[in-house]
Structure 1
Amino acid sequence: MNSFNNDPNKKKRSVLANTVHHGVRVGTVEKLGQILLKEGQITQSQLNEALEIQKKHGGRLGRILISLGYVEDETIADCLRRQSAYALVKISERQIDEKIIDILPYNLAKEYMAVPLEVSDGSLMIAMADPTNRYALEDI
């Protein structure tokens, strides 16, 4: 027997599944490296170095720039927020109702580093480490 069928939160999630808003802007989106370069956060040589590492080893440009010590994670988060329609949320500053927490199964919350924050007008607001992860959004 599928344990999902016995999940008491299944109905809540299925109702909310159709109301997840992906938040990515449609149209031309300026690349992260170009935003950082334009704002003077990094130099062209730093961007080139990070892009070369990305080309050889893969990974996300923002994480590479942080690991090289060229930018802080807050700088990357702010650029990514402006690049998309997502808001930057500090969950440590929010009061989260336990009933909301129970909407998202622990295994999904852990896997995608996601925390349900609130339900408003039938939509679920979720804080995620990577809100651009479409697979996570589909699973959730």
Structure 2
Amino acid sequence: MILTGQPLGQILKEMELVSEFDIQEALQVQKEKGGAIGRILVEKGLISEKDLTSAIGRQAGMDSVDLETATITSELIDMVPVNIAETYQVVPVEFDGSTLTLALSDPQNISVLDDLKFMLNLEVKGALADRDQLEKTLEAHYAGKSESMESIIGSMKGDDFEIVDDGREKMMDMEQLEKDVNAAPVVKLLNMVLLTAIKDRGS
């Protein structure tokens, strides 16, 4: 996704949510204290969180979605495995038969949609959602559906595991693999899958 380059304050003004005077006051606060202009306007009570999400979405050329009112079916949830949803912090909100719409909270992270298009083997597009709403929705629909990285590692016995690859045995550093959970999303997800496979192999 590419930001339009249009200032957020101007977008909010075009949406008839704030006046030029409001924008200038917010810019003065930003100059004196720092902070994002959208957040300043929310804190001043001039716009709502929903207004801010909608404006940021418009700035990024994205639709926005209100997860508090969205109808998220079990069929939609089944289209995105829990490990992918939690790793990438996305929630499926609509499928029109060819394109899956995913709610996310970062409009500038284009690599997320590129990764998911490949991993889900579907055309995908993003819709901007409030971060708090997204976290609550993930918790409501995906909580308890999979084991965490820590629980998988905790259930293992021994410090090292042997993996046979083309007839050659290699020792896997489990501590390093656990650390890699904080790496890029693709690495994090692959490590989760790998750890799960190792656990299944040893059971």
- Alignment TM-score > 0.5, same fold: yes
May I ask how many residue pairs the two structures share in their alignment? 111
- TM-score, normalised to structure 2, is 0.42
Q: Which residue of 1 aligns with 2:9?
A: 33
CA distance in 1, matches of 2:39, 2:88: 17
Q: Secondary structure of the equivalent of 1:101?
A: helix
Alpha-carbon shift at residue 111 of structure 1 (Å): 4.6
Secondary structure of 2:55's counterpart equals: helix
Alpha-carbon distance, 1:89 to partner: 2.0
Summarize the Cα distance change of 1:51–1:116 in structure 2 as closer, same or farther, 3 Å threshold: farther
Q: Which amino acid aligns with 2:56?
A: L
Listed one character per residue, the Cα deviations across residues 53-102 of structure 1 (whole Å, up to 9, x for unaligned) are 14xxxxx5433543454532122123223334322222333333323212
- Find the aligned partners of 1:103 and 1:117 in 2 and give their Cα distance: 10
* Superposition pairs of residues 13-32 of structure 1, within 5 angstroms: 22=1, 24=2, 28-32=4-8
Structure 2: how far apart are the matches of 1:66 and 1:111? Answer: 29
1:44 corresponds to 2:24 = yes
Q: Which runs of 5+ in 2 are unaligned?
A: 117-203
The residue that corresponds to 1:57 in the other structure is: none
Partner of 2:48: 72
Instruction: State which drifts further: 62-71 or 92-101.
Output: 62-71
Give the TM-score taking structure 1 as reference length.
Answer: 0.57
Q: How much has 1:47 moved relative to structure 2?
A: 1.9
- Which residue is 2:62 aligned to? 86
Q: CA deviation at 1:45?
A: 2.6
Identity %: 32
Contact 2:76 2:94 in 1 (8 A): yes
Please identify, of 60-69 and 111-120, the stretch whose mean Cα deviation from structure 2 is larger.
60-69
SS of residue in 2 equivalent to 1:92: coil
Q: Give the counterpart of 1:132 among 87, 108, 111.
A: 108
Deviation at 1:32, TM superposition (A): 0.3
Q: In structure 2, what residue type is equivalent to 1:128? A: L
CA radius of gyration, larger in: 2
Higher relative contact order (CA 8 A, sep 6+): 1
- Structure 1: runs of 5 or more not aligned: 1-21, 55-59
- CA RMSD between the two structures: 3.1
Q: Which has the higher strand share?
A: 2
Quick one: which amino acid aligns to residue 83 of structure 1? Q
